[in-house]
Structure 1
């Protein structure tokens, strides 16, 4: 994906709700508690880490005990420093004070809280891309105290890029057209989505080993990312890793798949990844972005949205407007002969389906319009309006071409479009003899598509001949 890539729109939760989730995230909550615990007597080492002799008191302040208590307290402290919750006053003396951002958590807006959380998230993501601490200690020991990164087989940029790629795919699986709501993603599938090209056939054993290794890496990383609230994660079953000499058997059912790790983005995580994507230069829209824009921006903006997202965006847009005025604005924006016009009219038709009977006068006003008269009659008929004049044959054919052109733009050569093409050819005898004469910019393209999609060779040939006639007519 390039930096100019446009992603499907995210359906974000309200910022106030997300801010509450951020404050409740275990690691962030610990960082906040340590920032409030710190005082004039708190000392840090070079680099800002909490002095070793104070880790015990910090762990106690957090209610932590056990072997991991000191390490967990140190990690929370590092997040507090990096997120601006704690400020180092004197590096030589190692003294600290509350950071300016600490006050934002109680006196700032939800957006302020989320801004502090995003800074904390960056620290955790950096930690997740770092090498295993045990491997780091071993490497230092083997090199007589000199750290040699090459001995770790660790490339910081490659590790960060891999994790970004995995999280990017998880984002797409969350917001894309085939998104399954809150359903978690199996870890093997997520690892494979990054490592196995879509056009690859049966993966080799070497590739499968790479996927297995990536799963283990991701298992460690998601365990680190869950406490900051980015993901909800079910770790890989420890029993699968007990015998290192034996490859685990392939999962056989949903319960078995879950043992290999399951992950999903939380609503807060979706917000966080979208913020990072925007920062990286991607176009990452959110449902609601177009609510205060004109109808022209709405119709063009939702052209590439998945159906559910387009529906939600349109509902939000209509909620802010008078029904009749909105209908008139939508119809005006749907006009045009450019390549995007058919899909605009399809989105307009879908938007008008959400408008109540108050919109009827606007539809009657365009009954004689060559571009809008057909869809206006469809709307009026569906709403039980009386005295709707029948459309002339030329308008019926124009609307048919416009509809197929819109479906082509929206879905490509889909099964739904194939069924539409078959239905049109079956319902209208002599369809192609008339269709090639339709004065629509997309007539030839539509007829070519019908020839490509129709399973009956004889009818497909008729469509191609009609497309040739339409092209010849355009040239002359």
Structure 2
């Protein structure tokens, strides 16, 4: 039901400039209220007068409204309707609220929530000032119309403008950790590893002399630009001279990362290779280089890293993710505020922290690097990646680039710089990018467009970098090298089809299939396993591995999940129900229905209820209410309300009443 818009206090019966309301038409004649599309100057003059008067009137009467929304309403009337500011037909207001306004507000990221209320209050203002045409619908009719849009605008206000941000409102699917072989191949292809190996080889046995300040000599820097293919411009723009190696940005960060990773080191005024690094396998060497690059600040492109390792910021209003907002109490773009809050809540979740929206003093995770939100988003799309433009919009919004820098090309250009670095680090592929003119450097070009996807090494290193910030993104192992516990633990964590595929890959990789199935069943029935995992894993095991599973289940009849084991064996005719404890199968039925209620859509309940309790089971309810099961009350309530057989439903309701009498309803 739509939330009613608050009424405006009663009017005094006095019109514009103290005139009686009966003299409104005279006032309309005095103040011009209709304008053609070619009368822009006159319209904007009147708009300013009405907006100023409306704002003062809101203050005088202590009413809620937004003059900016009233201005937008008048702009619509002039640009898209008849230009008559004194008359507000309901069909025009419907077009404004249903189509025109949401598009404009979203495009310019303006607050939406108060728009329907402001329309009502603005018309009330016109009416009180004697400026509302007699032929116009009355404020009461307009109020009824706008009330129907209140909830819609609340939802528009709450929704992020970028669909990608909506993903952060739900937990991510665990990302599969690439196999050791895939990671090794990916690392071997990483340009940064090639850079480090070539740099160490270039140093030679005696090393290379450095300047007195520990930098590369200019001649050596020029040689390395060519050798490593960094793309740095050794010919300075405007004919200026290259005076130090630090003026070559890519070479500078590549060297810095190699030094921090231990591929080379400065020793006695010389740059020398480090034998230990040369002995590392490609995967380890690559990971060391990525962490070295992170420590060097390569993953942040607009200055220093915003926080040290393991640092939590309690004042995100002034920095980091809340760079969008100038102060805690300052007016802010509510859509952008929501986007920031969504990502902050996601950061809390992956850091294992419970969000507490009631405690404003609770510190929030503070990403150290510009790449952090990009990694969080790309890990949700490990196979197909993200469009570059989508990634740029995300980073611009979340990191505040869109607010800090208003120039049109800054966000995509800055994103391009970051992605280029990630590409050289071997963390992403940037496919389909095209050269475009660089507005910040006339005559130069930069890349844009295309799609950005994490490499296998990029997935592993992104998880490593996030972990260094205290962010534990959910993962699932490569099934070919996973344990039985790993595979069973994925039940309910990944989509069912993916889970079954992982089981098949895991099973195919096992040297002893019979032992593997035994381990799988044992893990599925381990103490502490949630009931939904027990039910799902045993069912899928039988589906995938065949009758051997039933033989193995007999070994678990005395285990912690004996009710479900007995239920399955009885159902398959492999166990005499008379050999089972009298209440055990009833416990199993109640537990199964409890899982059903929690996991299955309500429209599927009747069919499942009928299968579990067909009409001939009505006598069971005479004893079922005495069962000591924590789920019994909820199950009886749903059976009574949703069982398709009315006799069974009535028996369930009667059993529920008896259960309440016995337990007090708790």
- TM-score range relative to shorter protein: 0.5 to 0.7
Task: State the shift of 1:21 in Å.
Answer: 1.8
Task: State the shift of 1:348 in Å.
Answer: 3.0
Equivalent residue for 2:185? Answer: 20
Mapped contact 1:366–1:376 kept (Cα < 8 A): no
Task: State the shift of 1:269 in Å.
Answer: 0.6
State the TM-score, normalizing by the size of structure 1: 0.64
State the TM-score, normalizing by the size of structure 2: 0.48
Equivalent residue for 1:253? Answer: none
Equivalent residue for 1:265? Answer: 454
Over 3 Å counting, the alpha-carbon distance change for 1:122 and 1:371 in structure 2 is same
CA RMSD of aligned residues (A): 5.2
Cα deviation, 1:210-263, whole Å, max 9, x if unaligned, reads: 9997555323311221121111224776669879xxxxxxxxxxxxxx975532
Equivalent residue for 1:372? Answer: 565
Equivalent residue for 1:98? Answer: 273
Over 3 Å counting, the alpha-carbon distance change for 1:218 and 1:407 in structure 2 is farther
CA distance in 1: counterparts of 2:215 and 2:366, whole angstroms: 26
Mapped contact 1:10–1:285 kept (Cα < 8 A): yes
Instruction: Give the stretch that moved more between structures: 232-241 or 160-169.
Output: 232-241
Task: State the shift of 1:274 in Å.
Answer: 1.7
CA distance in 2: counterparts of 1:466 and 1:212, whole angstroms: 69
CA distance in 2: counterparts of 1:16 and 1:390, whole angstroms: 50
Mapped contact 1:35–1:80 kept (Cα < 8 A): no
Equivalent residue for 2:538? Answer: 348
Equivalent residue for 1:418? Answer: 602
Alignment counterpart, residue 58 of structure 1, candidates 206, 210, 224: 224
Cα deviation, 1:279-309, whole Å, max 9, x if unaligned, reads: 44444443159977675x7645645444356
CA distance in 1: counterparts of 2:434 and 2:631, whole angstroms: 56
Alignment counterpart, residue 165 of structure 1, candidates 361, 373, 377: 373
Structure 1 residue runs without a partner (length 5+): 134-148, 175-181, 198-204, 244-257, 381-386
Mapped contact 2:197–2:278 kept (Cα < 8 A): no
Aligned length, in residue pairs = 402
The 5 A counterparts of 1:60-75 are: 60-62=226-228, 67=233, 71-75=249-253
Task: State the shift of 1:61 in Å.
Answer: 2.7
SS at 1:96 equivalent: strand
Cα deviation, 1:12-57, whole Å, max 9, x if unaligned, reads: 3332432232222123312321221124462335775423332112
CA distance in 2: counterparts of 1:118 and 1:356, whole angstroms: 46
Mapped contact 2:566–2:585 kept (Cα < 8 A): no
Alignment counterpart, residue 33 of structure 1, candidates 156, 179, 198: 198
Over 3 Å counting, the alpha-carbon distance change for 1:81 and 1:422 in structure 2 is same
Equivalent residue for 1:183? Answer: 384
Alignment counterpart, residue 420 of structure 2, candidates 206, 211, 223: 223
Over 3 Å counting, the alpha-carbon distance change for 1:334 and 1:102 in structure 2 is closer
Mapped contact 1:192–1:211 kept (Cα < 8 A): no
Structure 2 residue runs without a partner (length 5+): 1-169, 236-247, 305-318, 325-364, 441-446
Mapped contact 2:200–2:264 kept (Cα < 8 A): yes
Cα deviation, 1:69-101, whole Å, max 9, x if unaligned, reads: 9554444333322221111112xxx31110234
2:632 maps to 1:443: yes
Equivalent residue for 1:84? Answer: 262
Of structures 1 and 2, the larger Rg is shown by 2
Mapped contact 1:323–1:359 kept (Cα < 8 A): no
Mapped contact 1:43–1:54 kept (Cα < 8 A): no
Cα deviation, 1:316-352, whole Å, max 9, x if unaligned, reads: 6655475555555555555589782343332233234
Structure with the bigger RCO (C-alpha within 8 Å, sep 6+) is 1
SS at 2:544 equivalent: coil
Mapped contact 2:256–2:293 kept (Cα < 8 A): no
Alignment counterpart, residue 232 of structure 1, candidates 414, 425, 429: 429
CA distance in 2: counterparts of 1:323 and 1:65, whole angstroms: 53
